[in-house]
Amino acid sequence: MSLDPKINLACPYCDESIYETLNWFKKPYSTCPACDKGLAAGQFADIINALEQAMDTRIEEMMNDASHTTCCGKDSCCH
Ligand SMILES: [Zn+2]
């Protein structure tokens, strides 16, 4: 399963918020839907790294919280 949530980031040029998938922001080159200027993946790299770390932490917390701790941990085995 690939994690590709939609996120909201501000365009560095026009400051409009761009609501796109994580992978969209990771594309080497894209254009802002609002001002049509070129956006490079590097412009979002720092914020995306931070977001991904936050998501990893949240997923780990969810797994720890889940009642699914008594067997192999695979979703398919206890249903
Ligand atoms: Zn823009």
**Domain spans of the chain, in order of start:** 6-64
* Cα 55 to ligand 1 centroid, rounded to whole Å: 26
DSSP 5-65: -EEEEE-TTT--EEEEEHHHHHSSEEE-TTT--EEEGGGTHHHHHHHHHHHHHHHHHHHHH
Give how far the C-alpha of residue 71 lies from the chain's centroid of Cα atoms, to the nearest Å: 29
* Cα 54 to ligand 1 centroid, rounded to whole Å: 25
* Cα 1 to ligand 1 centroid, rounded to whole Å: 31
Q: Say if residue 32 is exposed, middle or buried (CB neighbours under 10 Å; 0-12, 13-18, 19+).
A: middle
* Cα 18 to ligand 1 centroid, rounded to whole Å: 8
- Residue 35: per-residue pLDDT: 97
Whether the model clears a pTM of 0.75, i.e. scores above it, the answer is: no
d(CA 20, CA 9): 8
- Residue 16: per-residue pLDDT: 96
* Cα 30 to ligand 1 centroid, rounded to whole Å: 11
Run means of pLDDT, 10 residues per run, the chain, 79 residues = 83 96 94 96 92 91 73 60
- Residue 24: per-residue pLDDT: 95
